[in-house]
Amino acid sequence: MKEININESTILITGVAGFIGGALALRLIAATCAQIIGIDNLNDYYDVRLKEYRLNRIREQDDDHRFTFIKVDIADKDVVFDVFDAYKPDIVVHLAAQAGVRYSIDNPSVYIQSNIIGFFNMVEACRKSIEMNSPVKHFLFASSSSVYGNNEKIPYSENDSTDQPVSFYAATKKADEVIGYSYAKLYGIPMTGMRFFTVYGPAGRPDMAYYKFTEKLVKGEKIELYNYGKNRRDFTYIDDVVDIIEKLVGEECGTDSEKIYRIFNIGNNNPIETIEFIGLLERALKQKKVLIDDFNISDYVKFSEAQMGDVETTYADIDRVFAYCGIKPRVKIVDGLMCFAEWYEKYSSNA
């Protein structure tokens, strides 16, 4: 596979104040000499202070002043084009999106703006870069395990059907994959889609279950386990995710029609039930003094029916990404939750 010299590249990361985007920028600042252009609209879907925290961590590590942040809404085509014209990125890692399965059911128009129009603006800017003789060498974008819907075949393989999404969020991610495929084939834009499976860890998204559970338990509030705690999730630690993205960033897909567009599952290949998960979370929160030792989590659990838009199981077949990258997940759920709990205790103490 043809490699790109990252150290001589300008890398544009969208959603850089987000969980994965912030972690990736930190890694690239530490491990490469690349110029990093980060854009984000800093919306208030969740506490903006956490987004500012992530940005400040990047700035603190940026001793060589290789990181530039620009507040940009990717739904604004003219502004997106201006960024491409000004910085001429060699590599684009498109992670900006409106996340959340349940939120998409109540607020679908937000997902059209960010996940459809925003994605279209990004691939259009890539197409325009070809016309301007400064072509993007590799466009990577975030998709989601939710595109598999309630696929009965597990683990989920990239070759499985994704034609029956059960949430509007999943439908927008499926749309991105199809739009991306057409642009890769029509205009020769090397493109990689990444289907993330329940990414967790320090400085994560507060709307994710492990973070929401922690916040509620600290306040002495009940937590709700949908589908009576039987949902299974393939929790994937943030460092394992960034390991793979870092490897993929430096590789071109190639220009022949068979290799110019690729899709990878990025997961842990080890799903666990929610009821088991909260037991591990309780242990981590107690060990890191977020909860007191005699806290009994069973007193704070409410079991509920399955929610509209939820899938029962996410389970990644990761053979394809291992064949390309030679990387498998390293962090066990027990250790990952310990790292989250340690971070949460420090972050909440300083909030």
Residue 46 C-alpha from the chain's centroid: 15
What type of residue is 263? I
Q: Is 73 exposed, middle or buried (0-12, 13-18, 19+ CB in 10 A)?
A: middle
Torsion of CA 80, 84, 90, 91, to 10 degrees: -10
Tell me how far apart the alpha carbons of residues 213 and 28 are, in angstroms, rounded to a whole number. Answer: 31
Q: What are phi and psi of 151, to 5 degrees?
A: -60, 125
* Residue entry with tokens 């897909």: 253
For 266-332, give the secondary structure using H, E and C: ECCCCCEEHHHHHHHHHHHHHHCCCCCCCCCHHHHEEECCCCCCCCCECCECCHHHHHHHCCCCCCC
Answer yes or no: 237 catalytic.
no
- C-alpha to C-alpha distances, 260 to 107, 141, 281, nearest whole angstrom: 34, 14, 41
210: left (phi over 0), alpha (psi -120 to 50) or beta: alpha
What type of residue is 214? T
* Residue entry with tokens 């498109």: 94
| Annotated active-site residue in 148, 169, 237, 261 | 169
8 Å CB contact between 270 and 331: no
The helix (run of H) or strand (run of E) holding residue 130 is: helix 118-131
* Residue entry with tokens 């310990």: 338
Residue 20 C-alpha from the chain's centroid: 5
* Residues with a known catalytic role: 169
